[in-house]
């Protein structure tokens, strides 16, 4: 059932890899030169021998894809991407505008949830970021749900009746009126920013415009480690990523 051209996740001694099944030999970084064509003889959940080591074959999940992203800009972590998706009411069929594609991490997550009937339009001013986003969308099989525009969101949007506008840019307050125009009534405007000063400024701007219920939050996540000695939180933890602020357009 696995066919040439499919993306698969391989999990084994050397880590996790998201690769395209190909009829030709591939040189996969950290894994070696691999004949992925043999994977077509297997089923998902089975393992395959690659260079004398066993690798489990799985269908790439959203987490696998986000782990496998090529990174140029700092990427939004799943914990924050999922909060944005949920707080902005995104689901299959949604039209979402993203400002600042960066490396495309959030774009991949949004595409996952709007599929198969929705669409993500993502704006990016930098060509080098856009190039990375394109590669990541291809790896994630998300191109068909995403339109990537090289344009500056502070100049406005081409779309109307959007369900959500999500910005990961340093100056989102300059986009509030553009976002208002692009959104359907009740549509969600969300920003992701690293400093408290930015939270203050965007909330103030939202209060001055026709947006309701601005709500800001931070989300912290700790892994729990189950070892021989017992259970404890992981010593590794990211102390901060960014604050999320969400509000809804009213007329």
- 13-32 residues in contact with a second copy (CB under 8 A) are none
Please state, in angstroms and rounded to a whole number, the distance separating the CA atoms of residues 49 and 194. 44
Using the CB atoms, write b or e for 6-15: b if 16+ within 10 Å. bbbbbebeee
CB 73 within 8 A of CB 28: no
CA 92 to each of CA 47, 69, 89, 165, 172: distance values in angstroms, whole numbers, following the listed order: 33, 23, 10, 16, 26
Closest CB to a second copy among residues 138, 217: 217
Closest CB to a second copy among residues 130, 211: 211
Question: Looking only at residues 48 through 77 of this chain, which bind a second copy when binding is defined by CB under 8 A?
Answer: 56, 58-59, 61-63
The beta-strand segments (E) located in 51-200 are 53-58, 95-99, 119-124, 146-150, 162-167, 183-193
We find the least distance from the C-beta atom of residue 203 to a second copy, in angstroms, to be 4
Q: Which one of 30-38, 119-127, 128-136, 231-239 is the stretch in contact with a second copy (CB under 8 A)? A: 231-239
141 forms part of the interface with a second copy (CB under 8 A)? no
In the DSSP assignment, the letter for residue 22 is -
197 forms part of the interface with a second copy (CB under 8 A)? yes
In the DSSP assignment, the letter for residue 46 is -
Element containing residue 107 per DSSP (H, E): helix 105-114
Q: Which of 27, 30, 45, 52 binds a second copy (CB under 8 A)?
A: 45
We find the least distance from the C-beta atom of residue 70 to a second copy, in angstroms, to be 20
221 forms part of the interface with a second copy (CB under 8 A)? yes
- Tokens 């393992």 locate to 47
We find the least distance from the C-beta atom of residue 148 to a second copy, in angstroms, to be 21
We find the least distance from the C-beta atom of residue 123 to a second copy, in angstroms, to be 22
Closest CB to a second copy among residues 50, 130: 50
Measured over all CA atoms, what is the biggest interatomic distance in the chain, rounded to whole angstroms?
64
Count the residues in the chain: 251
41 forms part of the interface with a second copy (CB under 8 A)? no
Closest CB to a second copy among residues 70, 234: 234
Q: Which of 41, 43, 52, 127 binds a second copy (CB under 8 A)?
A: 43
Question: Looking only at residues 99 through 118 of this chain, which bind a second copy when binding is defined by CB under 8 A?
Answer: 109, 112-113, 115-117
We find the least distance from the C-beta atom of residue 132 to a second copy, in angstroms, to be 22
- Tokens 């692009």 locate to 182
Count residues binding a second copy (CB under 8 A): 78
CA 80 to each of CA 32, 85, 87, 219, 240: distance values in angstroms, whole numbers, following the listed order: 33, 9, 10, 7, 11
Closest CB to a second copy among residues 36, 130: 36
180 forms part of the interface with a second copy (CB under 8 A)? no
We find the least distance from the C-beta atom of residue 213 to a second copy, in angstroms, to be 7
């Amino acid at each position: 059932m696995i066919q040439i051209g499919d993306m698969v996740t391989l999990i084994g001694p050397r880590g996790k890899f998201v690769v395209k099944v190909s009829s030709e030999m591939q040189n996969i970084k950290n894994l070696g030169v691999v004949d992925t064509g043999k994977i077509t003889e297997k089923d998902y959940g089975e393992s395959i021998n690659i260079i004398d080591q066993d690798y489990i074959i799985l269908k790439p999940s959203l987490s696998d894809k986000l782990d496998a992203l090529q990174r140029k800009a700092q990427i939004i972590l799943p914990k924050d991407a999922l909060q944005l998706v949920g707080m902005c009411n995104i689901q299959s069929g949604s039209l979402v505008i993203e400002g600042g594609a960066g490396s495309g991490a959030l774009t991949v997550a949004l595409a996952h949830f709007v599929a198969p009937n929705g669409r993500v339009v993502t704006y990016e001013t930098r060509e080098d970021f856009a190039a990375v986003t394109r590669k990541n969308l291809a790896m994630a099989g998300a191109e068909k749900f995403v339109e990537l525009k090289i344009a500056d969101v502070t100049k406005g949007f081409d779309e109307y009746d959007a369900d959500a506008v999500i910005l990961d840019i340093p100056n989102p307050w300059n986009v509030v009126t553009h976002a208002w125009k692009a959104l359907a009534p009740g549509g969600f405007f969300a920003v992701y920013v690293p400093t408290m000063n930015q939270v203050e400024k965007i909330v103030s701007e939202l209060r001055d415009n026709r947006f309701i219920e601005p709500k800001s939050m931070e989300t912290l996540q700790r892994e729990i480690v189950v070892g021989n000695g017992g259970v404890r939180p992981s010593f590794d933890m990211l102390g901060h990523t960014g604050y999320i602020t969400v509000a809804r357009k009213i007329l």
